[in-house]
Amino acid sequence: MLYESYFKKPKDIAGVIAKVRDLAKMTGPVRLMEICGTHTMAISRSGIRGLFLPEIQLISGPGCPVCVTPSGVMDEIFKLSDHKNIVITSYGDLLRVPGSRRGDSLLRRKALGAHVVDVYSPMDALALARKNPGKEVVFLGVGFETTAPGTASCLLEAVRQGVENFSILCLLKPTEPALRTLVESPDFNVSGFLCPGHVAAVTGSDAFAFLPEDYGLPAVVSGFEGADLLCSILLLMEMLADKTPGLVNEYVRLVRPKGNPAAQEMIRRVFEPVTCEWRGLGMVPGGGFKIKDEFSDFDAARRFHLTWHEGKEPAGCRCAQVIRGSLAPGQCPLFKTVCTPQDPVGPCMVSSEGSCAAAFRYEL
């Protein structure tokens, strides 16, 4: 069937791998960065990371929305969960994330009696609010342009239905400002980018044209199957070998150059850009989405007067460098010694998409 034959088992995979290896002889050592947590996991799970070592290093950038959420924000969320009348709803990823104190998490708070519900969609959270009019239901909106339109449309639906006990803590982030901050940071050392296919499905592949145009870095918008990633690596290597950095869309079955205009309009309608802290990158101008003033009734940050200071990293935690790609997980002194998925110190280990968790679970 389609699922088996096309996406999962491409025809000439050995040929693609051989071509990449040949190109690596021409380019010399290169470092390619993926900036999407799902890519991180797909590369590790399919065993691609080890295929081209040592010539091609595949490193993970700030692509996991959980990993770049500052610890100070988590501390505020924990405080919010103390209120008996508040139900916290969240994607599963966020439930294990510690704040500035090790061992604390929404899962732990839940076991101690806090109302914490994991949902697949913000609409599930809205439905929960309608069913429990006596409770305040807060949805933790995390993610990039991928989850932003769904969160925006849920907020508009809450407005339309007049659901007064529902609000969103908006932790959403646009990708471009953070990528620019990353590329301009002093320790940046990457030869090309694997760009996130799902973000590009919303923004359009053209949204990543600034990488070759402004910085001379080749970029390929990639799908998420192992075969997609192998083909994308080949495309990047061809551009590096030819010294012709450009933008290529490998994920043509889903991504258009201009993306999804309706989803983009939804984002513009509800959110505005704001300077925002990214774990690992610090304050990023325009690096966050904020709920517009006209919807402030549905903004949990304003409803519950939440503020957070720049987060303090746990002692010894090098997640910030790992997120920038300047340190490999294995180079962090805490990796596998005190920091494990069972007892994570930093977000790169706790999130299933984090590069440390991926390295711990999958790397030989």
Inter-residue contact 279 to 65 (CB < 8 Å): no
Give the shortest CB-294-to-another protein separation in angstroms: 27
**Which CB atom, from 97 or from 270, has the smaller least distance to another protein?**
97
Cβ 342 to another protein shortest distance, Å: 6
Collapsing DSSP states into helix, strand and coil, what is residue 354?
coil
Provide the minimum distance between the beta carbon of 144 and another protein in the complex, in angstroms, as a whole number: 8
Which C-beta is closer to another protein: that of 215 or that of 362?
362
Give, to the nearest 10 degrees, the angle between helix 355-362 and helix 37-45: 10
Residue 209 beta carbon to another protein: minimum distance, rounded to whole angstroms: 23
Q: How many other C-beta atoms are found inside a 10 Å radius of the C-beta of residue 272? A: 13
Q: What are the φ/ψ torsions at residue 118 (nearest 5 degrees)?
A: -90, 135
How many residues does this entry show for the chain?
A: 364
Minimum distance between the CB of residue 76 and another protein, rounded to whole angstroms?
Answer: 20
Structure tokens at 299: 């903004």
293 φ, ψ (degrees, to nearest 5) = -55, -35
Closest to another protein by CB, 55 vs 303, is 55
Q: Would you say 326 or 355 has its CB closer to another protein?
A: 355
Work out how close the CB of 217 gets to another protein at its nearest, in angstroms, rounded to a whole number: 24
The sign one gets for the Cα dihedral 199, 150, 148, 106 is: negative
The owner of tokens 């100070």 is 72
Q: Cβ closer to another protein: 44 or 326?
A: 44
Q: Toward another protein, which CB reaches closer, 212 or 226?
A: 226
**Residue among 7 and 188 whose Cβ is closer to another protein:** 7
In angstroms, give the least distance from the CB of 266 to another protein.
Answer: 16
| Contacts of residue 242, Cβ cutoff 8 Å, sequence gap at least 6 | none
* DSSP characters over 263-325: HHHHHHHHEEEEEEEETTTEEEEEEEEEE-GGGGGGBHHHHTT---PPPPPPTT--HHHHHHT
DSSP per residue, 258-280? T--HHHHHHHHHHEEEEEEEETT
The residues of the shown chain that bind another protein, judged by CB under 8 A, are: 1, 3-4, 8-9, 13-14, 17, 37-38, 44-51, 65-66, 91-93, 95-96, 118, 120, 142-143, 146-147, 198, 226-227, 230, 341-342, 352-353, 360-364
